[in-house]
Amino acid sequence: MFDIKSFYEARDVQDAVQALVKEPDAEVISGGTDVLIRIREGKDAGKALVSIHNIPELKGVRLLENGDLWIGAATSFSHITNDPLIQRLVPMLGEAVDMVGGPQIRNTGTIGGNICNGATSADSASTMWALDALILLSGPQGERTVPICEFYTGPGRTVREREEVCTGFIIRKENYEGWYGQYIKYGKRKAMEIATLGCAVRVKLSEDKRVIEDVRLGYGVAGPTPLRCRKAEEILKGAGVDDKEALEQFAKTALTEVNPRSSWRASREFRLQLIEELAKRALTESIRRAGGNCNA
């Protein structure tokens, strides 16, 4: 049994926002794969729930007129993985969310919940950081857009107000066009495992595929929140795809920008080893996917 004060099925986004304002202890629920676990464990017991799960305007993936990619917050992981636009434009995101839990979780859980629960271990988070995603929020004061790099404030905490509903995400055309990437998740098991570390790398190569014009490096579980290693990124800009020294420096510089902790899943020292090694592996695969010849 779940200790729930009340359950309200919102008709649309504004209806959900009004319900959250009306009920001071209400919480948004969509797939419920995180919220219901917290309630069962007693952390959020006795709260009212406002469901956005069946609001059509929050589901799906579409290309906007300006070429930006829109992803609805209530879109399930399996939908994202199998969506033709995701497969064509940002397959890395589809691959990342396909590593969440098992099939039942992926069919129910949503990308909005995965980002908004604030967990550094969220499989979509480091990839969304590497994509420079924008988060769309709707609340009593209207709508606002928050860059993902400004969204997290601490472990399990974000700038989203309790009365706000995450409606979707925007990936700008310039952040996916010409980019290729790889997400690597390390866990003790191959399936149904929370990430011990997640590493996302994206690259944009020169026309002749010999030079790294731009690169993004994102991590999950390398600090209290997901993060980008911007100093490491600068190391590689303009480097040759087969520049082994630059690749090594890229991975080592990342170590100066992270702050992993020891937990029952892994020690800080082991996570630091993973941070360096996965950066090199993900970069090598990203270059290969982009059409470059990386022999590092």
Instruction: State yes or no: pLDDT of 191 exceeds 90.
Output: no
Residue range 94-117: average pLDDT? 90
Task: Tell me how far apart the alpha carbons of residues 36 and 253 are, in angstroms, rounded to a whole number.
Answer: 40
pLDDT, average across residues 42-58: 85
Report the pLDDT averaged over residues 149-155.
95
**If you write DSSP's letter for every residue of the chain in order, what string do you get?**
---EEEEEE-SSHHHHHHHHHHSTTEEEESS-TTHHHHHHTTTTTTEEEEE-TT-GGG--EEE-TTS-EEEETT-BHHHHHH-HHHHHH-HHHHHHHTTSS-HHHHHH-BHHHHHHT--TT-TTHHHHHHTT-EEEEEETTEEEEEEGGGTEEETTEES--TT-EEEEEEE-GGGTTT-EEEEEEE-SSSSS---SEEEEEEEEE-TTS-BEEEEEEEEESSSSS-EE-HHHHHHHTT-BTT-HHHHHHHHHHHTTS------SS--HHHHHHHHHHHHHHHHHHHHHHTT-----
Residues 155-182, mean pLDDT to the nearest whole number: 97
Percent of the chain whose predicted confidence (pLDDT) is above 90? 79
Does the structure show a pLDDT above 90 at 188? no
State residue 1's pLDDT score.
Answer: 59
Above 90 in pLDDT, residue 52? yes
Counting other chains too, the contacts that 99-105 makes at CB distance below 8 Å and 24 or more residues apart are: 99/123, 99/183, 99/185, 99/195, 100/124, 101/33, 101/192, 102/191, 102/192, 103/78, 105/33, 105/77
pTM: 0.93
pLDDT of residue 104 exceeding 90, the answer is no
Which of 241, 204, 243, 197 lies closest to 219 in space, CA to CA? 197
Span 75-100, mean pLDDT? 96
Return the pLDDT at 190. Answer: 64
Q: What is the mean pLDDT of the chain?
A: 93
In this predicted structure, which of 63-72, 106-115, 253-262 has the lowest mean pLDDT? 106-115
Domains of the chain: 4-51 (3.30.43.10), 59-174 (3.30.465.10), 178-289 (3.30.390.50)
As a whole number, mean pLDDT of residues 169-175 equals: 98
Residue 250 pLDDT grade (very low, low, confident, very high; cuts 50, 70, 90): very high
Taking residues 143-163, report their average pLDDT.
96
Dihedral sign (CA 134, 173, 121, 30):
positive
User: What per-residue confidence (pLDDT) applies to 4?
Assistant: 73
pLDDT band at 296 (very low <50, low <70, confident <90, very high): low
Q: What percent of the chain has pLDDT over 70?
A: 97
Kindly tell me if the per-residue pLDDT of 257 is higher than 90: yes
Model confidence at 102, in pLDDT bands (50, 70, 90)?
A: confident
